[in-house]
Structure 1
Amino acid sequence: MAPTAGRPKAAAPKAKAAGGVKKGPTGRKSKKASGAMAAMQKYFKEHRDEFPGMAFKEQQKELGKMWKASDENPKNAAA
């Protein structure tokens, strides 16, 4: 007997056209945001020892609360 023909292979998917919504460049941060992040990290580093014995996650929560009310926070300095 002759071998039977198997299922035909599926055609490879075609590449999509370049139309549609285009995404803008990613990864850009303003200098203002980078400066604020650096200030926050510095503040956290200076005040971390005020919470000995706390888990890191809990320290971060407490430091975040302090940072939001701090005068060193650029958002509070402008207001």
Structure 2
Amino acid sequence: MTTTIQVDISFDSLITAIKSLDLSQKHQLLEILEDQIFEDEAELEEDPKIITEIEEARQAYQRGDYQTIQDYMANQLDKTT
């Protein structure tokens, strides 16, 4: 039988705890995190809101309604001068 508990821990404390792990434990944690991230991203891809936002972005791109990173960076530089 598995018992689940919920523990509130600050992010800083979590980082400190992770730093104290040995290399094999860190690799194990990395595998767990990668699995969880993959599952979460898969769920997001099925979210109707996300699907709608992606489709809207694709349509905007097809209309040419976008800004390249170079243009964005140039605009930001212009704002600071």
Bigger radius of gyration: 1
Whether the TM-score (by the shorter chain) exceeds 0.5 is no
Bucket of the pairwise TM-score, normalised by the shorter protein:
under 0.3
For normalisation by structure 1, the TM-score amounts to: 0.27
What is the TM-score when the length of structure 2 is the normalising length? 0.27
Determine which structure has greater relative contact order: mean sequence separation of CA pairs < 8 Å that are 6+ residues apart, divided by chain length. Answer: 1
Higher helix share: 2
